[in-house]
Structure 1
Amino acid sequence: MSGSALRGRVLRGLPQHLPLLAASGLLRRPHVAAQCHGYSTTDDSSVRPIGRYPVPNKKDMPYDIMELMEEVEVKTGFLPNVFKAMSHRPAEFRAFFAYYNVIMNKETGRLSKADKELIIVATSAVNRCPYCVVAHGALHRIYSKQPTLADQVTVNWKLADLSSRDLAMLEFALAVCRAEDITEEHFQKLEAHGFDREDAWDIAMITAFFAMSNRIAHFVDLRPNREFYSMGRTPCEAGRDHT
């Protein structure tokens, strides 16, 4: 995939309301600290770096990666730290986000954007990944317009306010996450709630990809951006129509 094609798909996959939140002050651009690594910024309230690997200076980045990161930051009002961390390995950066786009931004199947984010939250909680739980919990709040459900799933998905459809979806995702033996019964439970075999593939691929992502975030000690914590929290923000 060319740099321009990858950039376009990443940008199309971002929640459309984020630039408006930035403009309204709900998301503020992070303060640039002089001692930071080249591209990255740090929170004023923390001296901890975003991870244990250095973020390359802008001048040392391949142009397509630097351009994508700048456009994402302009569109969202901040740059998610996963972009900074993965820029340490440009070839892997491109492969990582290319596959992310294939599974997360596909327009076929029965999984909504909120469904996909909920799968990520539930499985990332099992994999003990703070970055993915916080970041994708924020995206779930935005897409679902439900300010508390991702938090409930993070603590105990079995006690969360989930529909029977959502429960079946998460049961399957968590079976894949835990590397359980997948049987025909798993598929039958999904089919009883309207998911076909291709939907099962989508659930499994999202779970598997984010198992990898969780482990990358874990070993690099990736820190969530502080902006993620407040996104979609208030009913008026979560319910606002930005289309």
Structure 2
Amino acid sequence: MATKQSPISWLTVKAPRLSAEVQALLDRTKEKLGYIRNGQTALLARPELVLGQDALSRAANQNPASGLTRKEKELIALVVSTENRCQPCIFGHAAALREITGDALWVGRVEANFRHAGLSPRERALADYALRITRAPGEIEPGDLEPLRQAGLKDGDILDAAAIAAYFNFSNRINSAIGVVPNAEAFAAHR
């Protein structure tokens, strides 16, 4: 008996014919992950949005001049996604951190409560900052940057951390607002 595929979001909008640019984006995702993110598929009805989100993601996360490591970037993404309770993003960023660290237990501890995960002082400063950006961006003051500087982060790194946290707040909110279902592949990856 064939199982009925569940919808990938609460929306039932039909995607237009995919442009070469959108198809190339989906092909890159599939090559990188082995599957296409449900969040991307859910946005296909608005190609400019899926392309814009990808461009913003690359600008925030793939700056070659950044002093942040891939692990630190994914830590920021996971802290933001966990705070926002964005299931597709939690599954995806936890999988990426498992791949980077090879430590599924540590990643699980970060998901449950990063404060108890044995973060380095630099990682803790980044996680605290990401949480502050997520919970109360309007309350951030100059003094909130001091723990980051004390942990060895330069101002360019702080800008990168802010951009990454802000981007994932956007991504989390759009996924949650339209009910994007997490990819089972992400949940199972690198365990």
Could you tell me which residue of structure 2 aligns to residue 110 of structure 1? Answer: 67
Work out whether residues 121 and 150 of structure 1, in 8 Å CA contact, stay in contact via their aligned partners in 2: no
Could you tell me which residue of structure 2 aligns to residue 223 of structure 1? Answer: 181
Could you tell me which residue of structure 2 aligns to residue 121 of structure 1? Answer: 78
Could you tell me which residue of structure 1 aligns to residue 36 of structure 2? Answer: 79
1:155 to 104, 109, 112: 112
Q: Verify: 1:205 aligned to 2:163, yes or no.
A: yes
- Corresponding residue SS for 2:45: coil
- 1 or 2 for the larger relative contact order (CA 8 Å, sep ≥6)? 2
Runs (5+) with no aligned partner, structure 1 = 1-32, 34-43, 234-243
1:95 to 32, 52, 66: 52
**CA–CA distance in structure 2, aligned partners of residues 196 and 204 of structure 1:** 12
Question: What is the Cα-based RMSD across aligned positions, in Å?
Answer: 2.0
Work out whether residues 53 and 88 of structure 1, in 8 Å CA contact, stay in contact via their aligned partners in 2: no
**CA–CA distance in structure 2, aligned partners of residues 152 and 82 of structure 1:** 25
Work out whether residues 54 and 88 of structure 1, in 8 Å CA contact, stay in contact via their aligned partners in 2: no
**CA–CA distance in structure 1, aligned partners of residues 128 and 51 of structure 2:** 31
Identity score, percent: 28
Which sits farther off after the overlay, 61-70 or 96-105?
61-70
Could you tell me which residue of structure 2 aligns to residue 142 of structure 1? Answer: 99
How many pairs were matched up?
A: 189
Look up the equivalent residue of 1:183 and give its one-letter code: E
**CA–CA distance in structure 1, aligned partners of residues 84 and 29 of structure 2:** 27
- Corresponding residue SS for 2:90: helix
Look up the equivalent residue of 2:45 and give its one-letter code: H
**CA–CA distance in structure 1, aligned partners of residues 105 and 67 of structure 2:** 23
**CA–CA distance in structure 1, aligned partners of residues 180 and 50 of structure 2:** 15
**CA–CA distance in structure 1, aligned partners of residues 168 and 107 of structure 2:** 16
Q: Which has the higher helix share?
A: 2
Look up the equivalent residue of 2:63 and give its one-letter code: K
> For each residue in 1:199-219, what CA deviation from the matched residue of structure 2 results, as whole angstroms up to 9, or x when unmatched?
111111111111111110111
How far residue 56 of structure 1 moved from its aligned partner, in angstroms, is 4.3
Q: TM-score, normalised by structure 1?
A: 0.72
Look up the equivalent residue of 1:228 and give its one-letter code: A
Structure number, greater radius of gyration: 1
Which sits farther off after the overlay, 167-176 or 66-75?
66-75
Could you tell me which residue of structure 2 aligns to residue 11 of structure 1? Answer: none
2:89 to 132, 140, 143: 132
Could you tell me which residue of structure 1 aligns to residue 134 of structure 2? Answer: 177
How far residue 47 of structure 1 moved from its aligned partner, in angstroms, is 4.3
**CA–CA distance in structure 2, aligned partners of residues 200 and 75 of structure 1:** 27
* Deviant stretches of 4+, over 4 Å: none
Could you tell me which residue of structure 2 aligns to residue 232 of structure 1? Answer: 190
Work out whether residues 177 and 208 of structure 1, in 8 Å CA contact, stay in contact via their aligned partners in 2: yes
Q: TM-score, normalised by structure 2?
A: 0.90
Look up the equivalent residue of 1:221 and give its one-letter code: G
**CA–CA distance in structure 2, aligned partners of residues 196 and 125 of structure 1:** 26
Superposed, 1:46-65 pairs within 5 Å as 47-54=5-12, 56=14, 60-65=17-22
Which sits farther off after the overlay, 66-75 or 183-192?
66-75
Q: Verify: 1:189 aligned to 2:128, yes or no.
A: no
